[in-house]
Structure 1
């Protein structure tokens, strides 16, 4: 994993001309101490009550340890704080994690080197079309709007379903997403602040680059683990050079709080009993029961979980456009009929997955797959320039 992290740092700005690449790296090197000190002071100020040092010397020790790891091992203070690296049982994580500043450049460089076209996964309409062509179960597409015109279907689209979901064609983290409910002949958004007739709503979508889909129902077994909206699961897969695909990490997103105050409970899925493990609210607060329903989060196995894993593994392996990505993060919905693909992402959030699974990526198959694509020298460095 040390070699992988060095390769990640060498991959930063690798697509730039040499003079830009080295200039940017010098600027980052000079800015790193300032950023590390600023972040250290911030995270010392927001320690949870049970971790606040009682003596001034202990404060200094904690801050000094943060800075020492930042300067000697390039460990960002945010990850030090989140992964609780001050605890003796967590010190082994230091060299086994992939840290946020290293994740994006490494994955981008690997995918470019493997001939991946990011538009394949960035464009949600293109993703849905590939799924349909390869007969992969996915959410139905009702309409596609791009550049001020309706691309699909051929006839003017007038919504009629009782529940609709709209999202931007590109972007991440639910960019442009909105839920629309039909009531008394008019559509209302989630908090009922906007109301349109079906024809007027279609005109609202026309200037946007967006995709219209039906709202899905959760599997009944997952209803108590949601505030009424869709529970989704992120599965990260990696493809070896011989085409064999492995599951690297999993993460469940359980919505709570409703449209006006939505937050998410996250946690990995246990491979044996298919239940959520180590659930945390908003990534930090350990939680046992769903705040809205009171349901015990770790008691309910995820239905169709083996089928969901098989679906994403087959998608990564069998679709040529997807198999050019070394790693992909698949978003999956579990409906009463089975799993459906929502979308996939080339940037899948190593930070959140390491927080969610309670283990660093270095303890998964991740570094072995990366190593297959890197040309390590005898000193353990990879040629990324």
Structure 2
């Protein structure tokens, strides 16, 4: 009798859980949309009014059109310079992966949240990649909470006398935040965080960090920028096991920074995926356009990305290996002897991708793939299928 009662209780619990998840699936996006609406002033505060040619009232009207008609949060308005483009073009922008409608569909089909743990901890990700023989930078050690930064760095430099440069990263960091570059010069060690030199004497770690050797990049990349410059490539594993490249762009650091993230002052430059060459125009987080790197003065257009086919092959191999998570953004550096996987982003920022490469739904293969997986979020996006003669 006890076992029967327990079975009944378990069944009731499973039913309640099922209904709770079903209700949450529909209610949570609505609640998030309400919060996003209240946060619209954030998008307004990010407009670079030095270059925006739209009136302030016009910008607010554009925000409301994007939010209520296209159903995404207009945080891409300034980065993608939408004021320059007619509204008829805006439907080709998918918007941020963090937006409620996008997030709801992506998590249901291609980005199941239960597998995000594989990518949130760099130590775990690296261990999985090593098991699959995926090339990554060497991890030399770890800095644990309450350990002194300077002493640990001294120890690692003493253990690796051949190295003069190290990179310290939070295991759970993103966007280049918390990354510290260490350079040994004679008997001194220089520490750089972003564009700023810092002093780590007496500083204790407050979280877990990994320490890696600094990558010796391909000369064709280093001559443009001395930071660790990476290819951000976004891939989708389709039902036929083919990997579709959604888009790709190169990121370059500026000034004395050793990281290339846009949030840290870096630039993004689109890559022609068929030719493996940089396109003409790059941009930064403040929507400013660049035809050359501001430090090296090297023009972007036509610069060949070394080992491009190997970069695409590596990204495809990683995507197939992590088949449980079918939509990934990867950061790949290009060393002297080939590409290395730097990081896997389970929730990459699609706004950055579309800022660099343009709207992803301008690509017929992408529209068809998103349609097959039911990832399109409004009728305007679904109407794009008619342009390609696809029956809905």
TM-score by length of 1: 0.76
Provide the alpha-carbon RMSD of the alignment: 3.5
Q: Does 1:194 align with 2:199?
A: yes
Decide which moves more: 325-334 or 177-186: 177-186
- Asked whether the 8 Å contact 2:267–2:282 carries over to 1, the reply is yes
Give structure 2 stretches of 5+ with no counterpart: 1-17, 148-153, 383-392
Q: Does 1:73 align with 2:70?
A: yes
Q: Which residue of 2 aligns with 1:273?
A: 275
- Asked whether the 8 Å contact 1:248–1:364 carries over to 2, the reply is no
SS in 1 for 2:253: strand
Q: Does 1:93 align with 2:96?
A: no
Alpha-carbon distance, 1:32 to partner? 5.3
Per-residue CA deviation, residues 130-172 of structure 1 (Å, 9 max, x unaligned), is 22221121111111345669xxxxxx96333211011011131
Q: Which residue of 2 aligns with 1:133?
A: 131
SS in 2 for 1:302: coil
Q: Does 1:342 align with 2:360?
A: no
Q: Which residue of 1 aligns with 2:314?
A: 311
Q: Does 1:300 align with 2:303?
A: yes
Alpha-carbon distance, 1:343 to partner? 1.3
Alpha-carbon distance, 1:61 to partner? 5.0
Alpha-carbon distance, 1:371 to partner? 4.0
SS in 2 for 1:256: coil
CA distance in 2, matches of 1:133, 1:110: 26
Number of matched residues? 341
Q: Which residue of 1 aligns with 2:119?
A: 121
Q: 1:327 to 1:52 in 2, by over 3 A?
A: closer
Alpha-carbon distance, 1:174 to partner? 1.9
Q: Which residue of 2 aligns with 1:181?
A: 183
CA distance in 2, matches of 1:112, 1:236: 13
Decide which moves more: 234-243 or 72-81: 72-81
CA distance in 1, matches of 2:337, 2:43: 48
- Asked whether the 8 Å contact 1:187–1:195 carries over to 2, the reply is no
Q: Does 1:211 align with 2:213?
A: no
CA distance in 2, matches of 1:52, 1:116: 42
CA distance in 2, matches of 1:342, 1:141: 11
- Asked whether the 8 Å contact 2:93–2:360 carries over to 1, the reply is yes
Alignment of 1:1-385 (within 5 A): 17=21, 24-31=28-35, 33-36=37-40, 38=41, 42=45, 46-49=48-51, 51-52=53-54, 60-61=57-58, 63-87=60-84, 90-100=86-96, 101=99, 102-111=101-110, 113=112, 117-146=115-144, 158-160=156-158, 161-190=163-192, 191-194=196-199, 204=204, 208-226=207-225, 228-259=226-257, 263-277=265-279, 278-282=281-285, 284-317=287-320, 319=321, 322-361=322-361, 363=363, 365-374=365-374
Decide which moves more: 25-34 or 275-284: 25-34
CA distance in 1, matches of 2:233, 2:44: 34
Q: 1:119 to 1:64 in 2, by over 3 A?
A: closer
- Asked whether the 8 Å contact 2:119–2:344 carries over to 1, the reply is yes
Q: Which residue of 2 aligns with 1:4?
A: none
CA distance in 1, matches of 2:302, 2:375: 45
Per-residue CA deviation, residues 234-291 of structure 1 (Å, 9 max, x unaligned), is 1111101232212111121111122499521102111243222231133511111211
CA distance in 1, matches of 2:375, 2:344: 27
